[in-house]
Amino acid sequence: MKTLKDLFLDELADMYDAEKRVVKALPRMAKAATSPFLKGAILSHLKETEGHVQKLEQVFQIFEMKPKGKTCEATKGLLEEADEIAADFKGSPAINAALISAAQRVEHYEIASYGCLHEWAGLLGKRGAAALLQQILDEEKASDESLTELARASSNEESLGEPGPKSAKTANDKKPVVMRRAIRPARPSRNRTASITE
């Protein structure tokens, strides 16, 4: 009979594969982006994602298992969709908003997965693993929030393809959004899980 430990290791292998796929996909997304701030944010998250792979390898070691991946069909599909979006919207004023949307779908899947893994690691009595998974979870949440801020600051408005009230400002005048390495405490008036499509 399979137990929580089996479920944990199965999901861990799934996320190990997912993160390695994301490492390969992010440079393509950065290349497709026309916003220098979005390019920078994606490349910043690439470095974090490489760190996530290493942290997952440490989690495997805590469970005395050799790191191994299991094809993550969800991430595979989301990244294929991201490639399609990049091709469909290439040269469009909506390209950056489209890329942010695709990236956030991946982030939301990862947030859900790491939330479960973190809880399960705690139940299995592996505090070190739980701490590593919490670090990854915090970085994924921060990345998602930074993408939302970037979309609201410029990309969503630019995707309209028409001059707006801020048309006098160029993209270079806007403040860059930096991918945070840790989540900040939420302010009561702020909805941390707001969609960029609002």
- Whether 187 shows a pLDDT value over 70: the answer reads no
- Comparing CA positions, the residue from 41, 6, 179, 14 lying closest to residue 113 is 14
Mean per-residue pLDDT for 11-37?
A: 97
- Whether 170 shows a pLDDT value over 50: the answer reads no
Question: What's CA 192's distance to the chain center, in Å?
Answer: 15
- Whether 183 shows a pLDDT value over 80: the answer reads no
User: What does the alpha-carbon distance between residue 31 and residue 34 come to, in Å, rounded to a whole number?
Assistant: 8
Mean per-residue pLDDT for 157-182?
A: 55
Amino acid symbol at 26: L
pLDDT score recorded for residue 169: 40
- Is residue 161 very low, low, confident or very high in pLDDT (cuts 50, 70, 90)? confident
- Is residue 163 very low, low, confident or very high in pLDDT (cuts 50, 70, 90)? low
* Percent of the chain whose pLDDT exceeds 70: 81
User: What does the alpha-carbon distance between residue 29 and residue 102 come to, in Å, rounded to a whole number?
Assistant: 9
- Whether 9 shows a pLDDT value over 90: the answer reads yes
Give the pTM: 0.81
Domains of the chain: 4-159 (1.20.1260.10)
Distances 117 to 104, 106, 111, 113, 176 between C-alpha atoms, Å? 20, 16, 10, 6, 32
For residue 73, which phi and psi values (nearest 5 degrees)?
-65, -35
